[in-house]
Amino acid sequence: MIFDTHTHYDDEAFDEDREELLASLFQQGIEAVTNVGASIKTSENTLKLVDQYPKVYGAIGVHPNEVLELNEEKLNWLKIQSSHEKIVAIGEIGLDYHWEEPDREVQKTWFIRQLSLAREEKLPVIIHSRDAAKDTLDIMKAEKSEEIGGVIHCFSYGKEMAREYLNMGFYLGIGGVLTFKNAKKLKEVVEYMPMEQLVLETDCPYLAPVPNRGKRNSSLNLPYVVQEISAIKGIPEEEIIKITSQNARKLYRLK
Ligand code: NI
């Protein structure tokens, strides 16, 4: 069954029907999901969701656009909470140069601190990297991230960058963007990469695949992504689902 490795079900887009939706997911071929924090608040929300739903795992961490809220006290809070048995990763963390703020040096500092936290807690990382390919890779190499492990979420770079992360043993998170008309570069990456390092993700409520592009996304849309991967790789859909689910369990070190 399908494992959605990156969701934001605590988002207000799900306020109306979160309970029914989550219940229906697990009756409609979704095996499990990982809810990902992007701030202290959404990390708190994630902790609540994992306690409430058996098939929801969680990641906690602060997104590069939110790092101005971090300080030693909050970093320590993340450290304490990360020992929760259903917290399976530190994330999403990384660099995002799409906007001018926060300052790049500030982003780098907290990225490195959260990588160290993951190392100390022996958890994999969920990396968010947007318009920051070189700095992300430089930091991850300098921090010996191959010893930490994890996933590059919503992978958006080309084949050369993919090769670097694949060589470090990282998984690449592939979602709705793959079905977009202008996704030529990502399709090349999927064609090139080994199935053993590919995991499915939605990033819901964002990035719904075609034919639901622009609408609220949920894990129920992942079959469209599976179809696309199947067409690119020439591997049956059931096989894609089986392999990516095994990969997700390895990524998050689940039994
Ligand atoms: Ni996300």
Q: pLDDT tens digits for 94-147?
A: 999 999 899 999 999 999 999 999 999 999 999 999 999 999 999 999 999 999
* Matching CATH number, 2-251, of 3.20.20.140, 3.30.210.10, 3.40.50.2300, 3.40.1180.10: 3.20.20.140
Percentage of the residues of the chain whose pLDDT score is greater than 90: 99
Using DSSP's 3-state secondary structure scheme, residue 157 falls into coil
CA distances from 141 to 90, 196, 240 (A): 18, 22, 30
C-alpha count within 13 angstroms, C-beta hemisphere, residue 25? 25
pTM of the model: 0.97
CA of 6 to the centre of ligand 1 (A): 6
CA of 188 to the centre of ligand 1 (A): 23
CA of 39 to the centre of ligand 1 (A): 11
Structure tokens at 229: 């991967």
CA of 5 to the centre of ligand 1 (A): 10
For strand 198-200 and strand 56-60, is the pairing parallel, antiparallel, or unpaired?
Answer: unpaired
CA of 104 to the centre of ligand 1 (A): 20
